[in-house]
Amino acid sequence: MTSNSFSSTSGLPPTELLPWLNAEGSLTAILEEKAGQPLRVKRSFEGYRSLTLGQKKQLGIQGMMLNRPMLAWIREVQLYGNDEMPWVQAQSIFPLNSLKGQSRRLQHLKNTPIGYVLFKRRRTLPNERFISHTSNGWQRQTRYDWNGRKIMISETFLPAFLSSHI
């Protein structure tokens, strides 16, 4: 089950970007098909951070838990297709309570695209998506239910992708 909502002061996204923002399943696989090669992942941050109030709300945390400090494993990367400029800037948020059992491997992705892990067994996952315009470009934030664990992945389509690839 998927639901999308738009939040923007810049109007609606360009029509040609809508299929990318609304794509179901692995964005990694779709981008690799477009590039004709595996994506290159460049990590800019990977480690523990406290969740902001906004991040907690997006993850579906409610009530008194919103006021409590919460740590998450955060991974920030740039995804490169078939040229020298990054196509997508991505952030993955894994609350500590979601990193149990087999899910611990999400802390050890290194330069592996997350789509390889999340969509290894299923083509789609239950999710809720929010689309907005940021200072870096159009972004989709998707809260996934992966094996009963909530994780948030934000993907921002950068100007290099928009100018030459859609």
Full-model pTM: 0.85
Tens digit of pLDDT for each residue in 49-78? 999 999 999 888 899 989 999 999 999 999
Exposure string for 60-88, b = 16+ CB within 10 A, e = fewer: ebeeeeeeeebebbbbbbbbbbeeeebbb
Tens digit of pLDDT for each residue in 119-148? 776 666 667 899 999 999 999 999 887 777
Tens digit of pLDDT for each residue in 83-124? 899 999 999 999 988 887 777 777 878 888 877 777 776 666
What average pLDDT does the chain have? 85
